[in-house]
Structure 1
Amino acid sequence: MCKWIFVLLNFLLCVSAQAVTNLTALSEQGIEQWQAKEFSGKSIYSVEQYKGQMALKAISQNSASGLVLEKKIDLIATPYLNWSWLVEQTLSPLDERSKAGDDFVARVYVVIDGGFMVWNTKSLNYVWSSNQDKGLVWNNAFAGSSVKMMSVRGQQSQRGQWYEEQRNVYQDLIDTFGDKGSQKANRKAYQYIDIIAIMTDTDNSGKDAETYYGDIIFTEK
């Protein structure tokens, strides 16, 4: 019995020692730390219980606004971005690679802020695509190669179902924006992100969308 208690204690200590950063803490109204950012009209965000878990509800009606958190995250210490999402209402067929169709029922994205050197600003958008396959990457129609879109979920994904996601953001940045040729150079380019954002937007298509997001958490593995 003592042996198993010792093993259990070791396991719990290892779990507690892992680096974990919960950026939303929805059960504790942690989303209040996030700032609203309006681009075209105002999407409505609220926290509520939905289908078995606390969720951030997003309603977009011909609008594009999101929630933004300015927080530096060390991707060497905590490279994994974990979240869950559920979509109840997707968008009718549109070309999401075009300016007229640059709308997504759900997106979670990270930003490397270039500061005064705005040309160094980069953003990686993890999106739920209504009309493309899962696993595609393309340049944003408005921002070009400085903003990459990645379809973590695609047109085959089911509505009304929670999906759990985990992405190695550090590796995704290297893969999408380019390997700098050495570990040192990659660290210099991609070790830190400065902004995390959530957005459900339908301003270009003029449609409606209803989406739910779970907690946004960075972990070391």
Structure 2
Amino acid sequence: MTGHILLALALTAFCTVAQATEYHVGAFSTEGLHGWETKIFKGTTAYSLVQDAGRTVVKAASRGTASGLFKKVKLDPEQFRYLRWSWKVGGIVKNGDETTKNGDDHAARIYVVFSSRLFWRTKAINYIWANRLAKGDAIPNAFTSHAMMLAVESGPERVGHWINEERDILADYRRLFGGEPHEIDAIAIMTDTDNTGGEATAWYGDITLSTGK
């Protein structure tokens, strides 16, 4: 009997250690926009908390504007390597084109920003709902090679539907930039239409970083 008890305790301890740790970057459903800051590039995209599908989410509406919300973090990407979120878009951006500066607009994107000893070498992965770029493809941002655009969703096929996403940001960084990333500095969301002068609406659900699947 004692042996069975010890085995059970050992298994319980193992399961406890093996459980993934989650960092709630955007707990919109319980904390609203606490800790999030605004970054304005051109005009102000309207971000608001709304009820959708029985939960609190962030709604973004852009009309020729480009501003984002970001939250500062200090996390090791080798530990907190799994980024999870959900999103929905009302449509892709008309005239949006990831390969040109004039078309660098997206209905929804999530940035992961990595620190650097030299601030001008800060790197970022942009997980985008692409307009033309094929799902799974990645290219440098039209304005800077320090930001890579990775199409997690693409085109109009899944417009209007909530989609759950998961990315291994450590693996993505190694593939997109080579080498090893520094600390995760910030997570950001942005819906922008400043370059095309168009309109876009998106909804963002809770965002987490996790140590395991």
Q: TM-score, normalised by structure 1?
A: 0.85
Give how far 1:218 is off.
0.5
In the TM superposition, what whole-angstrom CA distance separates every residue of 1:157-204 from its partner, at most 9, and x where no partner exists? 4111010000000111000001x3xxxxx3xxx152111111000000
Alignment-mate amino acid for residue 122 of structure 1: K
Match of 1:150 in 2: 150
- Could you list the runs of 5+ residues in structure 1 that have no partner in the other structure? 181-185
**SS of alignment partner, residue 47 of structure 1:** strand
Deviations along 1:118-164, one digit per CA (max 9) or x if unpaired, are 34211110000122221110011111x21100000011541110100
CA contact (8 A) 1:91 1:208 kept: yes
SS at 1:99's partner residue? coil
**Contact map agreement 1:19 1:77 (CA 8 A) in 2:** no
Cα drift, residue 91 of structure 1: 1.3
Aligned equivalent of 1:210, options 182, 201, 211: 201
Tell me: CA distance 1:159–1:96, structure 2 relative to 1, closer, same or farther (3 Å). Answer: same
Structure 2, unaligned runs of 5 or more: none
SS at match of 1:100: coil
RMSD over aligned Cα atoms: 2.2
Identity %: 38
Q: Tell me, what secondary structure is at the counterpart of 1:203? A: coil
Query: Which residue of 2 is the match for residue 21 of structure 1?
Result: 23
- How far apart in 2 are the matches of 1:84 and 1:70? 20
- Aligned equivalents of 1:204, 1:170: Cα separation in 2: 30
1:79 deviates by: 0.5
User: SS at the partner of 1:33?
Assistant: coil
The code of the aligned residue for 1:85 comes to: W
Name the SS for the 2:173 alignment partner: helix
Q: Does the alignment pair 1:167 with 2:167? A: yes
How many residue pairs match? The answer is 204
Q: Distance in 2 between matches of 1:51 and 1:193?
A: 31
Q: Which residue of 2 aligns with 1:183?
A: none
Aligned CA distance change for structure 1 residues 47 and 172 (closer, same or farther; 3 Å): same
Structure 2 counterpart of 1:97: 99
Give matches, 1:170-181, under 5 Å. 170-178=170-178, 180=179
- Normalized per residue, the structure richer in helix is 1
Code of the aligned partner of 1:126: Y
In structure 2, what is the Cα distance between the partners aligned to 1:202 and 1:192?
A: 30
The letter of the residue matching 2:197 is G
Q: Which residue does the alignment assign to 2:64?
A: 62
Offset at residue 32 of structure 1 (A) = 2.1
